[in-house]
Amino acid sequence: MKKQTILIVDDEAPIREMIASALEPAGYKILQAENASKAHSLIIDEEPDLMLLDWMMPGTSGVELMRRLKRDEQTNSLPIIMLTAKVAEDNMVQGLESGADDYVSKPFSPKNLIARIKAVLRRSDGEAPQEPFKVDQLIFDPVSHRVSISGTPVNLGPTEFRLLNFFLSHPERVYSRNQILDYVWGGNVYMDERTIDVHILRLRKALLLEGHDRLIQTVRGAGYRFSAKISD
């Protein structure tokens, strides 16, 4: 079985080596980059399965690199976990809104990091239905991994793609944040409700074309539902 490849991007070599020494025994192939330029080259040439990205780096920051990757069709599906000493909620939200799939604060335990990596990779590799969905002018094709509205492509990160897949597969039902977490992220992953709300917000923004963001409805005191009907 082919090893999954993890790209570690951090300007501090001791941190990269510490992470690599924890991940290699867990069966991962490791790539390392000390800056955004080297990281981008490795992403294009090596096509890693996931990137661990430091927030603060000289020159191009980790957040700016992530934004560039998410704007490029060739790289926008790469799962990204941010590694950062920034622990304020606003920083977490900024990282998630910029495209991160998860957020790990320094210092962290190798065991926790490996669990987060497995969870993100599991979400990215999850099985999807083979038949396209069509709701109004929204078309979701899991085979080609394309989403469009009235023929216009909609760019989604891997987490938002999986979240939309879940909603399309379970229409007209209200799901609490905890239920969404269990279905989309897996029950063994700790994530607060604010993180789920951020991903819902990102998905809604992506579906703004022709008002398709209305399909994801907030049910006060209960959670969210996906519906083509007019919200109560």
Best CA proximity match to 160, nearest among 222, 206, 224: 206
DSSP sequence for 148-202: EETTEE----HHHHHHHHHHHHSTT--B-HHHHIIIII-TT----HHHHHHHHHH
**pLDDT for position 90:** 54
Q: What is the pLDDT of residue 128?
A: 45
- How far apart CA 173 and CA 94 sit, in angstroms, is 30
Domains of the chain in sequence order: 5-125 (3.40.50.2300), 133-226 (1.10.10.10)
Assess contact for 100 and 55: CB atoms under 8 A.
no
CA angle 13–70–219, rounded 5-degree value: 115
Asked if 30 and 45 touch (Cβ cutoff 8 Å), the reply is no
Nearest CA-CA partner of 75 in 49, 93, 53, 96:
49
**Parallel/antiparallel/unpaired status of strands 80-84 and 102-105:** parallel
Query: In terms of C-beta density within 10 A (0-12 exposed, 13-18 middle, 19 or more buried), how is residue 110 classed?
Result: middle
The Cα–Cα gap between 229 and 232 comes to: 9
Phi, psi of 90 (to 5 degrees): -60, -35
> Which two three-digit tokens encode residue 168?
């399309």
Contact criterion met (CB below 8 Å) for 61 and 95: no
Query: Residue 38: its pLDDT value, please?
Result: 95
pLDDT for the residue numbered 51? 96
pLDDT in tens, the chain (232 residues): 578 999 999 999 999 999 999 999 999 999 999 999 999 999 999 999 999 999 888 888 888 999 889 888 888 889 999 888 765 545 566 666 667 888 788 788 888 889 889 878 876 665 444 578 899 999 998 878 889 999 999 998 888 888 998 898 888 888 888 888 877 776 555 666 778 888 899 999 999 999 999 999 999 888 999 998 765 5
